[in-house]
Amino acid sequence: MFGYFYNEILRRTIISFGTLFNNISIQQENSVVNVPLSYGPTQKFLARIEQSPDLNKPTAITLPRMSFEFTGLTYDSSRKVTTTQQFVVKDPSDNTETKKAFMPVPYNMQFELSVMTKLNDDALQIVEQILPYFQPAYNLTVDLVSTIQEKKDIPVVLENITMEDDYEGDFTKRRVLLYTFRFTAKTYLFGPVSSATKDIIKKATVNYLTGTDTSNTERALTYSVEPRAIKNYTGDAATNLSDDVTKTAKTINVDSVSGLNAKTYVDLNGETIYIKSIDGN
């Protein structure tokens, strides 16, 4: 049932979300400081501050700092479309081979963005640079499936903001102001993209016939297939190999490519070979 495919949609969405916040800077005295952005849980960065073996060390971690994390994935039934509907596109590389895929499945990705600062003014500068763009959503264009160049606008919704100011404790405690933004990205997950021209059999149906007499039932299977022609009946093109072909070779050298075309099939001693591209001979 499940064949291998990987469109990198979740990975692309995570990277695209992080790029929204990788160019934030603040003003400190007479200098502009860029705020670094890392991927990882907030607890990881707080533990580095609190568990430093030397509390008198000049620098445990440089603040301000931002981190984001992918925290959850849920199905969004409100954006559901017909599951059996397909769309067909041409191969973006040459517009000859037809590719098809089922309609995508809507999922919501949850993210947390943490802003860690030592001074409250630094945190307010960062927060004020983020909030005006989310009202409460910001549309992020993501190239979800590169093989068919499928791009979609992914709404990134700002759900809520929380603030923690841990100022209690003795003077050995390091102070950290922590602002946490929680977002929801409404993305889409695509299934495998198949080629309508690479399949040797384009259509296959199986009929299971049973008798009406349950005490003496006869069972028979009938197969009906619609094969794709692998021979050019309007004129064959023949050529000879110029070099021996190994079992792992992906490139075959021939004497002449006259009459051969890319995105077609040829016969080599009874074996059907698909010509992906032609470069010289």
**Structural domain includes residue 104:** yes
**Are residues 148 and 45 both part of a single domain?**
yes
Residue 218 within a domain: yes
Query: Last residue of a domain, which of 165, 195, 225?
Result: 195
Q: What is the CATH number of the domain that holds 25?
A: 3.30.2000.40
What is the pTM (predicted TM-score) of this model?
0.61
Exposure string over 111-127, b if 16+ CB within 10 A, otherwise e: bbbbbbbeeeebbebbe
What residue numbers bound the domain in which 124 lies? Answer: 9-195
Same domain, 59 and 81: yes
Residue at which a domain ends, from 195, 210, 227: 195
Separation of alpha carbons 61 and 12, rounded Å: 29
Reading the block at residue 75, the tokens are 């199905």
The verdict on 113 and 218 lying in the same domain is: no
Report residue 36 as tokens.
């670094």
Residues 114 and 209 in one domain: no
| Residue 56 belongs to some domain of the structure | yes
Same domain membership, residue 81 and residue 183: yes
Count up the domains in the chain and report the number. 2
pLDDT in 10s for each residue of the chain, 281 residues: 577 888 889 999 999 999 999 889 999 888 898 998 888 876 665 555 555 555 455 444 578 889 999 999 999 999 887 777 776 776 666 666 667 778 889 999 999 999 988 888 999 999 999 999 999 899 999 988 877 778 889 999 999 999 988 665 555 555 678 899 999 999 999 888 776 555 555 555 555 555 566 555 555 555 666 555 555 555 567 788 888 888 788 888 888 888 788 887 777 776 777 888 998 88
Task: Assess whether 39 and 85 both reside in one domain.
Answer: yes
- 27 and 131 belong to one structural domain: yes
